[in-house]
Amino acid sequence: MYFASDNSSGAAPEIMAALAAANAGYAMPYGNDPIMERVRARIRDLFEAPEAAVYLVSTGTTANALALAILAQPWQAVFCHRLAHVEQDECGAPEFYTGGAKLLLIDGPDAKITPAALRDTVTATAQGGVHNIQRGPVTITNATEAGTVYSAAEVAALCAVAREFGLPVHMDGARFANALVADGSTPAEMTWKAGVDVLSFGGTKNGCLGVEAVVIFDPAKAWEFELRRKRGGHLFSKHRYLSAQMDAYLEGDLWLDLARRANDAAQALSQGILGLPGARLMHPTQANAVFAGWPRGGHRAAQEAGAKYYLWPFGQSLDGPGDAVLTARLVCSWSTTAEDVARFVAAVRGA
């Protein structure tokens, strides 16, 4: 009953087997290993983008910060949702790696920016010439930090607004596989065909040990990314261990299968929670995260039974009247089982 985060799960067996196989013998460092050549070809084929530049890094924060650094000047704004991961969970890394670009926060239901809100915010920016922050890239988190998903059509609508102002678009796809499975679109339809310029393509949250891809659909930005990655200390020497993970991740659509397991578990968990007295959802369950509230007594019972998850937002207490509703975030992973879900729901119901 471990729902604290999809980061908490182990790596998929296929990923670990690929690492063990890659460990044999010798390979050239810094991304010059033969597995990386295969990874690059796989991603280009998957995204129907034969000219795309493809790079691997070890963390999502690195992927997002370096991606935004090639899109934003220090005096520009980066437009994002108030609940975007780049705002909530990256300790100022995007601002640091861009040399000072300012995150401009946009509100919207279920952690999603609307085209109208984006247009209004961009229009209101840079009205005072040299005295104001200038307009810069838009970044979209998909799946969002609220467990919701931008459809390919919604991504295209936001990109269309960005194009009105000549702004590039980045997608934070730490849970890109979960979003894609939920929407049913293709990788190309969700990204460059919709207008996305750079994608952070996540693996760590979906069964990898620790690897993220940065897919740059305009190869003119590739050299700058390489320089920033090295200067920022994120060019792996024994790069084959990143390559091996991503190669196995993409083999036979493993990445989609793992995401589908996580999404299906979240749907089952969401339905189970909604069947409990006094329960409600805070956001629609569209990917692999459930945001829900139910009476405090049920939270106490679940945690006494060994369930791990976060009360959300932080600061709520298990002490107090049992019938008061507390809200929580529960995240399913590729390894979440039907038994985990059933035990959790039974523990809460037993209260």
Contacts for 75 with CB less than 8 Å, ≥ 6 apart:
100, 101, 133, 134
Evaluate whether 54 touches 214 at the Cβ level (below 8 Å): yes
Q: Which two tokens stand for residue 178?
A: 């979960």
Residues 31 and 42: their CA atoms lie apart, in Å, by: 15
Question: β-pairing, 310-311 with 280-281?
Answer: unpaired
Any idea which residue has 């607004």 for tokens?
A: 161
Give the DSSP H or E segment for 296: helix 296-304
Q: Which CATH superfamily is domain 259-350 in?
A: Aspartate Aminotransferase, domain 1 (3.90.1150.10)
Rounded CA-CA distance 180/152 in Å is 9
Q: Which two tokens stand for residue 273?
A: 């929670």
Q: Is the dihedral of CA 327, 311, 150, 2 positive or negative?
A: negative
Domain ranges of the chain: 11-254, 259-350
Give the pLDDT confidence score for residue 270 in this predicted structure: 98
Give the per-residue pLDDT at 185. Answer: 98
Label the pairing between strands 280-281 and 212-216: unpaired
The pTM (predicted TM-score) of the whole model is 0.97
DSSP string across 16-75: HHHHHHHTSS---STT-SHHHHHHHHHHHHHTT-TT-EEEEES-HHHHHHHHHHTT--TT
Q: Report the 10 Å Cβ neighbour count for 335.
A: 18
Structure confidence at residue 70 (pLDDT): 98
**In the numeric block, which tokens belong to residue 292?**
């829900």
Q: What is the pLDDT of residue 93?
A: 98
- Which of the four CATH numbers 1.20.1440.230, 3.90.226.10, 3.40.640.10, 3.30.497.10 does domain 11-254 have? 3.40.640.10
Assess contact for 16 and 209: CB atoms under 8 A.
yes
Name 172's Cβ contacts closer than 8 Å, sequence gap at least 6: 60, 64, 84, 85, 86, 139, 140, 141, 142, 200
Q: What is the pLDDT along the chain (351 residues), one digit of tens a residue?
A: 999 999 999 999 999 999 999 999 999 999 999 999 999 999 999 999 999 999 999 999 999 999 999 999 999 999 999 999 999 999 999 999 999 999 999 999 999 999 999 999 999 999 888 999 999 999 999 999 999 999 999 999 999 999 999 999 999 999 999 999 999 999 999 999 999 999 999 999 999 999 999 999 999 999 999 999 999 999 999 999 999 999 999 999 999 999 999 999 999 999 999 999 999 999 999 999 999 999 999 999 999 999 999 999 999 999 999 999 999 999 999 999 999 999 999 999 998
- pLDDT value, residue 127: 86
Residue 196: closest CA among 162, 145, 225: 162
Q: Please give the Cα distance from 257 to 2 (Å, whole number).
A: 20
Q: What is the spatial distance between Cα 217 and Cα 289, in angstroms, rounded to a whole number?
A: 29
Same fold? 11-254, 259-350? no
Q: Which three-class secondary structure string do you get for 154-218?
A: HHHHHHHHHHHCCCCEEEEECCHHHHHHHHCCCHHHHCCCCCCCEEEEECHHHCCCCCEEEEECC
Q: What pLDDT is recorded for position 128?
A: 84
